[in-house]
Amino acid sequence: MTTYLEAAAAPLKNTGQIKLYSKEDFEGMRRACQLTARCLDEVARMIEPGLPTKEIDDFVLQFGLDNNAVPATLNYRGYQYSSCISLNHVVCHGFPSEKPLRSGDILNVDITFIVDGWFGDSSRMYIAGEPRRAAERLVDLTHDCLMAGIEAAQPGNRLGAIGAAIQELAEANRCSVVRDFCGHGVGRLFHDAPNVLHYGRADEGPELKPGMIFTIEPMINLGKHHVKVLKDGWTAVTRDRSLSAQFEHSIGITEEGCEIFTLSPAGLHKPPYLT
Ligand code: MF3
Ligand code: CO
Ligand code: CO
């Protein structure tokens, strides 16, 4: 049985219980998440064929330092970068690299800034140069999947309603949902309870209550859902080498529905960004 507790009274660790945050806590999340969203807006301006993705990572670190924020991934469990940059068949946790982007590459940039102790976690897809049709379609579908999950994130629904909505849309479009990684509670911790599955049944999981804060971050594959992690211990790729896409928002459950903390202030929700 899941239990809930006031975040203010909770220890600063994952106890498996679901933390319920206050109005003031939501304000803290808004600040951290809007910084992350602004950074992802800036990244949209940088993307072009020829750009080594390490330059995106360098920009993210500098943007954080300039804004009194620390990238949460830097030295997180041995991870060495300020962002995760996952190209083409890389599902998540890709390393930034010196290899230049090529026209037609699709990439996810995942950033988490810590601002005053609050974690703002979000990612978007970008397309370098001229997209291929299948890639463009996958990126669009994946954003639709994220938004379908967010629409199901309402008080009174169960957590499983989110995954069910995502899975239904992905599979109706002959794509698959990655099982091996999920969304997560977020707030004053990077990864907290509950696990937010991107597949499953609407009548399963704990009830969604106002004050809950978590991410939704579906990874959708053009081929099968199976994933393997490379020998570097981080880079997750599709087993069948098919293309994979992901978008992520940090959200909070309210009395009326939910608030998307990481919404783009510039309206750069999905490609083409036309900046
Ligand atoms: N930002 C990722 C997430 O959405 C986590 C990255 S952990 C890292 O949960 F170590 F790979 F950076
Ligand atoms: Co996340
Ligand atoms: Co993330």
The answer as to whether 270 is a domain residue is no
- Residue from 134, 244, 232 nearest 180 by CA: 244
Which domain CATH number covers 253?
3.90.230.10
3-state SS assignment for residue 223: coil
Residue nearest to atom 11 of ligand 1 (CA): 93
The answer as to whether 120 is a domain residue is yes
Residue 275: what pLDDT? 76
- Measured from the Cα of 77, ligand 1's closest atom is 10
Query: Tokens in use for 179?
Result: 């099982």
- Measured from the Cα of 191, ligand 1's closest atom is 9
- Measured from the Cα of 73, ligand 1's closest atom is 12
In this structure, are residues 85 and 53 in contact, taking their beta carbons and an 8 Å threshold? yes
> Measuring CA to CA, how many Å separate 15 from each of 11, 12, 33?
8, 9, 24
Radius of gyration of the chain (CA): 17
Residue 14: what pLDDT? 98
Q: What is the pTM of this model?
A: 0.99
The answer as to whether 269 is a domain residue is no
Find out whether the beta carbon of 79 lies less than 6 Å from any atom of ligand 1: yes
The answer as to whether 275 is a domain residue is no
Counting the structural domains of the chain, the total is 1
Residue 274: what pLDDT? 86
Residue among 90, 110, 182, 234 whose CB has most ligand 1 atoms within 8 A, to mutate: 110
Task: Using the mean position of ligand 2's atoms as its centre, give its distance from the Cα of residue 215 in Å.
Answer: 6
The answer as to whether 267 is a domain residue is no
Q: How far apart are CA 30 and CA 133, in angstroms?
A: 35
The answer as to whether 68 is a domain residue is yes
Q: What is the pLDDT along the chain (275 residues), one digit of tens a residue?
A: 889 999 999 999 999 999 999 999 999 999 999 999 999 999 999 999 999 999 999 999 999 999 999 999 999 999 999 999 999 999 999 999 999 999 999 999 999 999 999 999 999 999 999 999 999 999 999 999 999 999 999 999 999 999 999 999 999 999 999 999 999 999 999 999 999 999 999 999 999 999 999 999 999 999 999 999 999 999 999 999 999 999 999 999 999 999 999 999 999 999 999 87
Protein residues within 5 Å, CB atom, of ion ligand 2 = 121, 215
Helix (H) or strand (E) holding 194: strand 192-196
The answer as to whether 5 is a domain residue is no
Q: How far apart are CA 261 and CA 141, in angstroms?
A: 21
Query: Tokens in use for 33?
Result: 């998440």
Find out whether the beta carbon of 25 lies less than 6 Å from any atom of ligand 1: no
Residue 118: what pLDDT? 98
Q: How far apart are CA 204 and CA 86, in angstroms?
A: 31
The answer as to whether 10 is a domain residue is no
Residue nearest to atom 12 of ligand 1 (CA): 73
Range of the domain at 120: 15-260
In this structure, are residues 235 and 110 in contact, taking their beta carbons and an 8 Å threshold? no
Helix (H) or strand (E) holding 170: helix 160-172
- Residue from 117, 111, 68 nearest 86 by CA: 111
